[in-house]
Every structure is written in C-alpha cells, then in structure tokens.
Amino acid sequence: MFSKSVGCIDASSTELFVIGEATMMFKRSEWAKRFQLILETDYILCSNWVREPSSTPIIFKSIVENILQFCDGLDWNIKVIQRSENTTADKLAKSEISRVSPLIWVRPR
C-alpha cells in the first residue's frame, strides 16, 4: 500500500498519480528484479485506461503513457478490486492525514 499527499485534484488524476508513483518506486527498487508488480485499484476506469491506453481521455493520456513507460521491462499486472475488500487503503485514502513523507506498506503474499 502506498500513501502520499497529492493535494486537491480530481479522483482520476489522483488514482493515476498514485499508480504512477507506486510503479516508479517499485521499478527503482531491488524488488523489480525478483518480483511481479501487482497494482490494485478500485477505480475501474483507471485500470481500463492503463490496460487499453487508446481508451484514455486526452486529458489523462500523458499520465497513462508515463505509467506504461515505468512498467516497461517489468513483470506487472493491474487488478480491479472491490473497495469493500480493501478497507485499509480506502480509509487511508479518505483520511485527512497530510504526510510530509510517503507511507509504504508491503503486504506479504
């Protein structure tokens, strides 16, 4: 799980920003050489845009292109999950905590 303050922006931009940040952090880590990156989101549109970039609205195309560049050379997958199945991440996303530094939580398999 990844949490970083992004300020006041729309939900699509927020979700894509977080997907991009998490992907970039993973790619720069030692994990990228040994593990698959599994991105989980409850925002089906963002998942669809990353899977099928041609369906992305023009306003988000550059963000999706950046995400795909970060994914280049990685073993990765993006999954849609129910918000009810991910209550910890949902509560964190809705909290009003302003972080000075990002929070990273790695869930063991």
CB 41 within 8 A of CB 87: no
The residue with greater pLDDT, 84 or 42, is: 42
Give the Cα separation of 68 and 103 in Å (integer).
23
| Span 44-57, pLDDT tens digits | 999 999 999 999 99
3-state SS, residue 19:
helix
The pLDDT-based confidence of 107 (bands split at 50, 70, 90) is: low
Instruction: Report the predicted TM-score, pTM, of the whole model to 2 decimal places.
Output: 0.72
Written as six digits, the tokens of 98 are 């302003």
pLDDT value, residue 10: 79
Q: How confident is the model at residue 18 (pLDDT cuts 50, 70, 90)?
A: confident
More confident residue, 92 or 74: 74
pLDDT band at 64 (very low <50, low <70, confident <90, very high): very high
Domain positions in the chain are: 2-104
Gyration radius from the chain CA atoms? 14
Question: Does the pLDDT of residue 79 top 60, yes or no?
Answer: yes
Task: Tell whether the model's pLDDT for residue 1 goes beyond 60.
Answer: no
Contact indicator for 66, 104 with CB cutoff of 8 Å: no
